[in-house]
């Protein structure tokens, strides 16, 4: 992303009161986040995700926010498989021995992403920088907000 994020840009978890559908939006206020999700402010609950200082061995200490991810059930990592791509490691065999052989090949998966903690793997979430969250959650709306012209 090369641009500098506006200091008041937040990522909001938005839940519509009508259907219970959940959306993540980047905006400077809750009303804009609801509108970006396609709902009116009176029809949704909003919860701003608070960035926290996190330390990683390769990046040092930086502000990160926790966002949802699709984690692989065969190893503690984020799945980077495309939505329409078939899973190359999901066991398909009805017979137990063959199923076990297929499951043990999961470490060869080309879609293995960032390693997650056991807790985050089970909750289906990961810590990323605000810039990365903007790329992953709602690319067009959030990238426009982060890169004003």
Q: Are residues 86 and 142 in the same domain?
A: no
Q: What is the mean pLDDT of residues 129-139?
A: 76
pLDDT (0 to 100) of residue 147 = 54
Burial of 87 from C-beta contacts in 10 A (0-12 / 13-18 / 19+): middle
Q: How many domains does the chain have?
A: 2
pLDDT (0 to 100) of residue 135 = 79
- Cα–Cα distance, 22 to 88 (Å, whole number): 29
**For 61-99, what is each residue's pLDDT tens digit?**
888 888 888 888 888 889 988 878 888 888 777 888 888
pLDDT (0 to 100) of residue 1 = 41
Q: Are residues 18 and 60 in the same domain?
A: yes
Is pLDDT above 60 for 140? Answer: no
Residue matched to tokens 């506006």? 6
Q: Are residues 40 and 74 in the same domain?
A: no
Domain span holding position 83:
70-123
Q: Are residues 147 and 107 in the same domain?
A: no
Q: Are residues 9 and 36 in the same domain?
A: yes
Q: Are residues 7 and 59 in the same domain?
A: yes
Percent of the chain at pLDDT above 90?
7
Q: Are residues 23 and 96 in the same domain?
A: no
Q: Are residues 98 and 135 in the same domain?
A: no
Q: Are residues 54 and 102 in the same domain?
A: no
């Amino acid at each position: 992303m090369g641009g500098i994020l506006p200091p008041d840009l937040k990522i909001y978890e938005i839940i519509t009161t009508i259907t219970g559908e959940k959306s993540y939006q980047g905006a400077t206020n809750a009303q804009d986040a609801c509108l970006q999700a396609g709902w009116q402010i009176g029809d949704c609950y909003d919860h701003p995700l608070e960035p926290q200082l996190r330390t990683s061995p390769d990046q040092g200490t930086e502000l990160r926010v926790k966002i949802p991810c699709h984690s692989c059930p065969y190893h503690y990592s984020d799945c980077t498989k495309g939505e329409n791509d078939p899973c190359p490691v999901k066991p398909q065999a009805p017979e137990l021995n063959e199923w076990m052989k297929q499951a043990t090949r999961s470490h060869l998966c080309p879609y293995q992403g960032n390693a997650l903690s056991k807790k985050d793997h089970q909750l289906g979430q990961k810590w990323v920088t605000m810039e990365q969250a903007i790329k992953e959650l709602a690319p067009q709306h959030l990238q426009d907000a982060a890169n004003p012209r």
